[in-house]
């Protein structure tokens, strides 16, 4: 009776469980290695570009500003990378903590809060359950293997800044070092060894620059329209149905022109304050607590009658 009960379904279930455990163990070993690899890459590229192996000019007068600029960029990239990991995306509290009154949440009492069946945390709007982190994540964008956690509400500004400064650093390094590689303006290429250094560094920088360009462009669009990667696909699916019913946009978090949307991720501020937050390595607190969101009513498109 018992032997017969242990059938094909149980074998499949057991195999899936074993695969899940092995995947989890692999992930725990693999993810720290990825983080070490990223730090190594930042350090190597900064050292080569900043400390003289690849200098844009031969004149001493350019060397100090170049070194300062490279170090500033290396600190900026590392700062945002570390903050992205240690800050984390933010996770909602367990329902028991709210029921017992240990945790108080600031929400409208008329709104019924959903509870996640998988992790038993509350699940406010824009929150999603990550199967790799095994918990719900505020304003989840995606799970990022490069930081071994999710990108969500609290670490999104650091993630965006990390992309921006990696893109800027690699772009500037490429543009400044390429003339030396081409032997323009009588710049010394440092013999065959120098040429092979230059080739590998420029190839690496060019590849990172190109890959990050697409990602940065994509996240600039998402940032300026106040939507996450997950929401973008949902909105895209909803778009045709809503448009057919005469609605203007399926995204209720789109608060208007870009600035109000950017302020949701970078916190409130003037244009100059937002620019300072983007350029300098500093702590950033996004607007809101990840539970309650500013929304606009989904507007009906105005039908203009042509006469």
For binding to Zn ion (CB under 5 A), which residues are involved?
116, 118-119, 129-130, 132-133, 136, 143, 150
Question: Please, which residue, 118 or 295, has the CB nearer to Zn ion?
Answer: 118
| E strands, 125-251, in order | 128-130, 135-137, 142-144, 149-151
Any catalytic annotation for residue 116?
A: no
Question: Please, which residue, 92 or 169, has the CB nearer to Zn ion?
Answer: 92
What phi and psi, each to the nearest 5 degrees, are found at residue 102?
A: -65, -35
Closest distance to Zn ion from the beta carbon of 66 (Å): 39
Show contacts of 259-267: CB within 8 Å, 24+ apart: 260/226, 261/223, 261/224, 261/225, 261/226, 262/223, 262/224, 263/287, 264/226, 264/288, 264/294, 265/156, 265/157, 265/160, 265/223, 265/226, 266/157, 267/157
User: Which residue in 119, 144, 150, 205 is the catalytic one?
Assistant: 144
Residue (of 281, 293, 259) closest to 74 by Cα position: 281
Question: Please, which residue, 27 or 282, has the CB nearer to Zn ion?
Answer: 27
Closest distance to Zn ion from the beta carbon of 76 (Å): 25
Closest distance to Zn ion from the beta carbon of 138 (Å): 11
Question: Please, which residue, 121 or 161, has the CB nearer to Zn ion?
Answer: 121
Closest distance to Zn ion from the beta carbon of 146 (Å): 12
The whole-angstrom separation of Cα 175 and Cα 181 is 11
Closest distance to Zn ion from the beta carbon of 33 (Å): 18
Question: Please, which residue, 114 or 300, has the CB nearer to Zn ion?
Answer: 114
Distance between terminal CA atoms of the chain? 81
The whole-angstrom separation of Cα 207 and Cα 210 is 5
Q: Report, as residue numbers or ranges, the catalytic residues.
A: 144
């Amino acid at each position: 009776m018992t032997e017969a009960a242990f059938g094909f379904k149980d074998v499949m279930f057991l195999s899936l469980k074993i695969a899940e455990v092995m995947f989890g163990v692999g992930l725990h070993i693999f993810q720290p290695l990825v983080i070490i690899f990223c730090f190594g890459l930042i350090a190597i590229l900064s050292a080569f570009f900043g400390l003289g192996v690849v200098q844009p000019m031969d004149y001493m007068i350019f060397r100090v500003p170049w070194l300062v600029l490279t170090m500033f960029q290396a600190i900026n990239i590392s700062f945002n990378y570390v903050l992205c990991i240690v800050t984390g995306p933010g996770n909602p509290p367990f329902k028991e903590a709210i029921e017992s009154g240990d945790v108080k949440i600031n929400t409208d009492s008329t709104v019924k809060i959903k509870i996640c069946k998988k992790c038993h945390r509350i699940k406010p709007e824009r929150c999603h359950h990550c199967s790799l982190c095994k918990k719900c994540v505020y304003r989840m964008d995606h799970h990022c293997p490069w930081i071994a956690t999710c990108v969500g509400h609290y670490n999104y500004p650091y993630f965006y800044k990390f992309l921006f400064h990696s893109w800027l650093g690699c772009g500037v390094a490429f543009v400044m070092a390429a003339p030396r590689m081409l032997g323009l303006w009588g710049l010394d290429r440092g013999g065959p060894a120098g040429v092979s250094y230059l080739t590998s560094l420029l190839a690496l920088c060019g590849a990172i620059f190109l890959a990050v360009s697409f990602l940065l462009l994509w996240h600039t669009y998402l940032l300026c329209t106040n939507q996450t990667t997950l929401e973008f696909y949902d909105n895209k699916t909803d778009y045709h149905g809503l448009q057919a019913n005469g609605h203007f946009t399926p995204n209720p978090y789109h608060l208007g022109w870009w600035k109000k949307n950017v302020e949701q991720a970078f916190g409130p501020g003037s244009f100059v304050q937002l620019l300072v937050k983007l350029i300098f390595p500093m702590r950033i607190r996004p607007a809101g607590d990840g539970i309650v969101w500013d929304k606009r009513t989904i507007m009906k498109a105005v039908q203009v009658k042509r006469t």
